[in-house]
Structure 1
């Protein structure tokens, strides 16, 4: 049989049957969705951040006016940033610590371990819903379940959790920590990848549980901690539902998160240009913090 010349063109059917074309066809819906629902809205918001746009009339180009207003004429920007950062630096470490603790308890598999894992993961599935936020608000009301439990054990039961500037944000932090299921499952997967031979060797050398944890578990788990830290940090910086439903920024804007204030400016006050500028400020903040974590990762993330 004569061999085909190397320069002979492939037929259309041969091209369509090739693995590379099939792969492109399968990823095409995702690429289209990514471009239409992510890339285009981001570019549109960037353009709108330089305009005065109330969603009823055509955008009017105003240059850097929105950005100047944010930093020089809007004190609530700094207040909401402080509230958001306080929520982030408090809730994220607590959530990760609690998730790791539970993961270490559930890493050994038995007949009922999967049931416990599902139970602990459930808050992460429903914790961000409006229904849970409403329930949480009712629990911390003056006549809610929390005060009832405090009264049952002889403690003061007249605490107004949602009306006190010092305690209101902690109701949101507790809710965030309660949603520890997602990082917990990731920690469980990471713990299963640590070779048991390392613990056996440490036991032979006389190492106790505490030393094993700090010398073996944490270093070997550091890539998983790094991933969870990035994801939970981004989630906390963009938290919305908890604040919007439970406190709506009250009292005295002490729980007003940046995402909720952005929502108010964009949709409540119909100031979409200013809201777009706020959104890009948060993009820069998240990008900067993520870059810092990546830059410092070589000092604490074990890659061996």
Structure 2
């Protein structure tokens, strides 16, 4: 494109629009708004509206049967003295701190294995991704109760080696670990993301490292891991958010009680018990906003810390 054409285009952009052009622009705006209308209705009616209502209810005493009674900061004060709330926070933080890193480690290990170009890669990739589609379902959670029950399949497996099992989901010392294992088992989504990241690393990096005599571990530590840090960061942020919101597994495995001895009382499960079990909807709304603050704080910390360890290869 010549300099004269560029100047002509620039001058055309600066000239005022004619009436016909303005009218055509308004028609385009109306058409765009028409197609965006279902999304806008959903945002206002299903997201923004309920959030604003719950924010108001967080400062009220509301039981679904009577009008909400504004109580100020009473719900917040109650949180400070709520022992079950503190226990649910401890259980949830433990669950997040253990299950998320373990899931990412398993996903990365399997992605490295699949990246070797084995035969039937498409089949193995689909088969390993399948648990991610089923892991959060009620059916799998029920199956987990059967597998780790006193007469479950896991104890049958241990019996082959002469080991006497127990009801893993009924023991306060092991019940949480069964749910952690269920979360780790749903490694499919981060595995696929890691695999995509591995495919983007240029092979010449590894060839040059091999020529210099670098070992496999050295290549992983100096090439693979630094170039995968954006994928690690992405999976870490989503993994933490999803782990804090885990509900179905704990609800089904514990029968909705959070037992035994509140060892599987996730924060979301306690929120559900307060809102739909005890009908303390005002207090449940306050708990929901506290969860939002916690997740937002962890996400903000992750983004702040990412500038120190996430490497973007330009």
Give the structure 1 partner of residue 24 of structure 2: 14
Asked if residue 245 in structure 1 is aligned to residue 255 in structure 2, the reply is no
Distance in 1 (alpha carbons) for counterparts of 2:196 and 2:144: 30
Give the structure 2 partner of residue 284 of structure 1: 293
> Deviation digits for residues 12-67 of structure 1, max 9, x if unmatched?
8733675x765554444333322221111111111110111111111111000001
Q: What is the CA-CA distance between 1:140 and the residue it aligns to?
A: 0.7
Distance in 1 (alpha carbons) for counterparts of 2:214 and 2:193: 26
Q: What's the secondary structure of 2:296's corresponding residue?
A: helix
Q: 1:207 to 1:267 in 2, by over 3 A?
A: same
Q: How does 1:1-80 map to 2 (within 5 A)?
A: 6-10=16-20, 14-15=24-25, 18=28, 24-72=33-81, 74-80=82-88
- Contiguous gaps of at least 5 residues in structure 1: none
Taking structure 2 as the reference length, the TM-score comes to 0.90
Aligned match for 1:94, one of 86, 90, 102: 102
Asked if residue 262 in structure 1 is aligned to residue 271 in structure 2, the reply is yes
Runs of 4+ aligned structure 1 residues displaced above 2 Å come to: 5-8, 10-18, 20-32, 107-111
Q: How does 1:1-304 map to 2 (within 5 A)?
A: 6-10=16-20, 14-15=24-25, 18=28, 24-72=33-81, 74-109=82-117, 112-157=120-165, 159-247=166-254, 248=256, 249-304=258-313
> Which is further off, 245-254 or 261-270?
245-254
> Deviation digits for residues 190-240 of structure 1, max 9, x if unmatched?
111111121111111111110011101111000110010000101111110
CA RMSD across the alignment: 1.9
Give the structure 1 partner of residue 3 of structure 2: none
- Contiguous gaps of at least 5 residues in structure 2: 1-11
Q: What's the secondary structure of 1:302's corresponding residue?
A: coil
Count of aligned positions: 298
Q: What is the CA-CA distance between 1:134 and the residue it aligns to?
A: 0.5
> Which is further off, 277-286 or 110-119?
110-119
> Which is further off, 7-16 or 126-135?
7-16
Taking structure 1 as the reference length, the TM-score comes to 0.93
